[in-house]
Amino acid sequence: MTSTPTAGARPDEVRRHNRTALLRRLHVGGPCTRAALATELGLNRSTIKALVDGLAESGVVEERVPRARSGAGRPSLLVLPQPLAAVVLAVDIRVEQVAIALVGLGGQMLGRDSWNLRGRAAEPAEIITRIIESTRLLAEELDVRMIAGGVSVPGVVRRGDGYVHEAPNLKWTGVPLGDRLTAAFGVPVRVANDAEIAALAEHLRGAARGSLDAVYVSADVGVGGGVISDGATLRGTAGYVGELGHMVVNPDGRPCYCGSHGCWETEVGEIALCRALDLPEHSPRGMVVAELRALSAHPDQVRAALGDFTRWLTTGLITIVNVFGPELVVLGDLFTALPASLVTEVAAAVAERSLVSRAIGGTKIVTSTMGVDVKLVGAAELAFEPVLDMV
Amino acid sequence: MSEPILELTGLNKSFGPVHVLHDVDFTVRAGEVTALVGDNGAGKSTLVKCVAGIHPMDSGAVHFNGERVAIAGPRDAADLGIEVVYQDLALADNLDIVQNMFLGRERGSGWLLDEAAMEQAARETLASLSVRTVKSVRTPVSSLSGGQRQTVAIAKAVLWESKVVLLDEPTAALGVAQTRQVLDLVRRLAEQGLGVVLISHNMADVFSVADRIATLYLGRMVAEVATRDVTHAQVVELITAGRSGDLGLARPESATV
């Protein structure tokens, strides 16, 4: 790091803090003019200049004259984060497939890969080996070196060292995933629950941007949720939170693998949807989506096919809204394929029947716009979190 | 459960005296990746070209979305929403990505092309497929890598709201890392609810993306099986011998002469 004229005036730690804040702003919010940076961060213009100059010198950002001019005077320079300045690995382990991506500063996906899990390929050792092999291949092809990693797992994860206690849908128990990957790559790899990661992605880059209290609920084979409370992720002791899918809604319902009966997941998960749509259990994801799309074209049939499903979705969401009191609920993953009329109906029912929703003037219920990539995006953010000050 | 998006029954095709396809039945379901495998000369490419309207069929019926249709030429196939991506990359080298994606179907009125709208649509399509590996949609295709070219060719299918995409050996000319990126894209196409047919010689590719495997052997469809029910070895036997255990053709001694 080169010393700049202002460096002596401020303690080094303050400057470092400002630098990280500026980098985080550019990473999450995208390119921005120097003037806007000064306003948003509440820093002096000369401070911003010194910071940006330092970052530009080390190749982390690039400055350019903006194309569209606003008003009179010399235009403020546009600061663009350079994707290749910091690259992290994002991994999304799902029940039926694994996806990996190398993500650059600013959130650009530089390259990606995915594969199906069938039979032996779903064993932890096989998955870890394939992740390592694929990542090396991809990094070589793109000619980049990664500085950190983030992994999303559908299970209960210890935050400190990424130890997966239990991932029932994957049939995993006691897998030291974080330690194994950290050792293999020689860079810090963080592991977290998939719903928590998706909530982080929605909060930073998706539908829940700018909202301080939001809940993200997603359906894959299992159903999970992540909670953003007062702008931060709700974690619970050692990070064990978010099993919203195992909230019991129907005590007389089907047995769940978790040992309970009538968990929310058994009524609104992918298997429940397959049942409602008359598809064989464990149909490929695309088939469920295609079927839901076809149904959307015939609004009159939605109620007949998905009446029970709608009722259970509403019941669960009312409880969630009553417990967490969010201003926004984002429905993700498979829920994004639900007919729009169904989502509107559920939102109306929740607004009417939840007293918390009534009190805060109506909790909004929307579907995610990030598609299936939400967990990859979140895993990348998880990886970026601790390393932005090291770039 | 709804009808298959595309269903072929009793398809026959001869080139002069050579009978290439014998009573072939083939179904494509929306949201599934169906791999079409077979030895060289088994009729895979011919089957795809019949579906695409390039070769007329001698006999056989085609049902699209449950309705009987006739495919007399490539235009008919395109109108139904059937798009084909060929192994030799049917892209024009001298044009950029947008021009390639809209080739022959440019937007605009009279003499004026609506460049802004086309560029916007191309960018949105690539974004919807999470393709973030292409820097600018105005990059000439000649400067793209093999994997990026296939990506553009596949994205074209999505832009035109195709219902069925047939990929004829999309990874034949690519390296390992690029192959994986293209297969990743193939999977995402199916996850969006499209019916996808993948022709491939590479068993690893087939097993990593396909939901079902259809095997052609000397112009006959010998088996259509779910990927999870079979092993590599069984599929290789089906390709080379036309049978594997109870799958495929009947044993000669029990077959009627």
Q: How confident is the model at residue A76 (pLDDT cuts 50, 70, 90)?
A: confident
Q: What is the ipTM of this complex?
A: 0.72
- For testing the chain B interface, which of A289, A301, A368 should be mutated: the one with the most B CBs within 10 Å? A289
pLDDT digit string, tens, across residues A157-190: 888 888 998 887 888 889 999 999 999 999 999 9
pLDDT digits (tens, 9 = 90+) for A112-126: 888 888 766 778 898
Phi and psi, residue B24, nearest 5°: -85, 130
Domain boundaries, chain B: 6-91+162-254
Whether B24 and B6 have beta carbons less than 8 Å apart is answered as no
Residues of A in contact with B29 (CB under 8 A): 287, 290
The helix (run of H) or strand (run of E) holding residue B34 is strand B33-38
Given an 8 Å threshold on Cβ–Cβ distance, is B180 in contact with A287?
A: no
Residue A289, min C-alpha distance to chain B (Å): 6
Structural domains in chain A, sorted by start? 7-81 (1.10.10.10), 85-197+375-390 (3.30.420.40), 207-369 (3.30.420.40)
**Which of A285, A292, A301 to probe the B interface (max B CBs under 10 A)?**
A285
Residue A1 has pLDDT above 60, yes or no: no
Identity of the residue in A97, A134, A289 whose CB atom sits nearest the CB atom of B192: A289
Specify whether the CB–CB gap between B218 and B42 falls below 8 A: yes
Q: What is the pLDDT of residue B249?
A: 80
Which chain B residues contact residue A109 at CB under 8 A?
130, 132-133
Contacts of B220 (CB under 8 A, 6+ apart): B22, B23, B24, B242, B249
Query: For chain A, which residues lie within 8 Å of any Cβ of chain B, measuring from their own Cβ?
Result: 97, 99, 108-116, 118-119, 134, 137-138, 140-141, 277-279, 284-291, 293-294, 337, 371-373
Flag whether pLDDT at A209 surpasses 80.
Answer: yes
Q: A278 to chain B: which residues are within 8 Å by CB?
A: 1
Kind and range of the H or E run holding A87? strand A87-93
Q: What is the mean pLDDT of residues A33-60?
A: 87
Q: Which residues pair with A173 in a beta bridge?
A: A166
The one-letter amino acid code at A143 reads: D
pLDDT digits (tens, 9 = 90+) for B30-59: 889 999 999 988 888 899 999 989 999 999
pLDDT of residue A187: 93
Which of A283, A287, A333, A372 should one mutate to test binding to chain B, selecting the residue with the greatest count of B CBs within 10 A? A287
pLDDT digits (tens, 9 = 90+) for A241-298: 667 888 888 888 888 887 888 899 898 988 888 888 888 877 788 888 888 888 888 8
3-state helix, strand, coil in chain B (%, to 5): 35, 30, 35
b/e map A222-246, b = 16+ CB within 10 Å: bbbbbbbeeeebbbeeebebbbbbb
With cut-offs at 50, 70 and 90, classify the pLDDT of residue A211: confident
Which residues of A are less than 8 Å from B175 in CB distance? 141
What is chain B's mean pLDDT, rounded? 85
Q: Taking CB atoms and an 8 Å cutoff, what residues of chain A touch B163? A: none
- The answer to which of A239-253, A311-325, A366-380, B8-22 has the lowest mean pLDDT is A239-253
Q: What percent of chain B has pLDDT over 70?
A: 93
At B139-188, the pLDDT tens digits run 888 888 777 888 888 888 888 778 899 998 888 878 787 888 888 888 88
Q: Look up tokens 């992918």; give the residue.
A: A270
Confidence of residue B255 (pLDDT cuts 50, 70, 90): low
CATH of B6-91+162-254, one of 3.30.465.10, 3.40.50.300, 3.40.50.10420, 3.40.50.1100: 3.40.50.300
